Amino acid sequence: MAVSLPSLPITKYHQVYLVLREQLQEGRFAQGFPSELALTQQFGVGRVTVRRALEQLVQEGLIVREAGRGTRPVTPGGASGSGSGAVAPAAPAHPVTRLTGLLENIVSVSRSTTVKVLDWRSIQASDSLAQVLQVAPGSTVRKVTRLRSAAAGPVSYITIYVPEPLIRGFGRRDLGQKPVLQLLEESGIELGRARQTVTASAANAQVARELDVAVGTALLSVRRLVYDSADRPVQLLHGLYRTDRYEYQMELSQVGGVDARIVAHEMVP
């Protein structure tokens, strides 16, 4: 499918890189990575532009390129799809937090914002997603994408993945009224802990359009894996937040303690 790159004040190679990076993270190339020629046709750009984008992905350890063997994505375990043994960069440690205060906070924030459900559908889990959610590759997973807004405008772009068997008693309409964690708890799931990473991310074309920012704008990126009381993954969340409208804080019970309560604060003018 052809992708039209918007006219924006960032290089075309960086726009191609942002789109491919997001597609890699979603596991779209599990069956094979497109050739340079296919990518030039897809994005309507020259080979030099495509090569620069691919070089950036190689530097980040997301793909492996070998003469005569083509380009392959790097799996979560560190090896490329062909088993070449290439090692991806080690992931940073993820803070672990208990969910008692977190769920209360999420519900509190939801009362002062509105939600638009952008996507609500079942997908087949890629190898990387299946590994995170501890389900079999190809298993059905429910994907939820929501845009949360405050009085000042869009605040966050959230994508959530939940194992299909856990979707009980709620649907698309409920997602516009309550947080997914609250719906899971109300359906009988006893929440346990969460493991998360907070980093920075650049807005791709789709996210930039929804959050009303320029492509390439720095966003706060939160990746949170939530477990139930039996320590089974029940939700993977990837949230992208406008830094001018959202502040993320952690209140520690003691220096170095892992029992942290997360406080999300809307900075609404």
Q: Which residue stretches of the chain have pLDDT < 70?
A: 1-10, 75-112, 248-269
Q: What pLDDT shows up at residue 146?
A: 93
Q: What is the DSSP letter of 134?
A: T
**In the numeric block, which tokens belong to residue 220?**
């706060």
Q: What pLDDT shows up at residue 154?
A: 92
Q: What pLDDT shows up at residue 248?
A: 64
Q: What pLDDT shows up at residue 3?
A: 55
Q: What pLDDT shows up at residue 16?
A: 85
Q: What pLDDT shows up at residue 249?
A: 62
In the chain, the amino acid numbered 254 is Q
Q: What pLDDT shows up at residue 265?
A: 47
Instruction: For the domain made up of 12-73, give the CATH fold.
Output: Arc Repressor Mutant, subunit A (1.10.10)
Which residue intervals of the chain are DSSP H helices?
A: 12-25, 36-43, 47-59, 100-111, 127-133, 172-175, 180-186, 205-211
Q: What pLDDT shows up at residue 43?
A: 84
Record the pTM: 0.63
Spatial separation of the C-alpha atoms in residues 217 and 236, rounded to whole Å:
24
Q: What pLDDT shows up at residue 109?
A: 56
Domain ranges of the chain: 12-73, 96-266
Instruction: For the domain made up of 96-266, give the CATH fold.
Output: Chorismate lyase (3.40.1410)
DSSP letters for 196-220: EEEEEEE--HHHHHHHT--TT-EEE
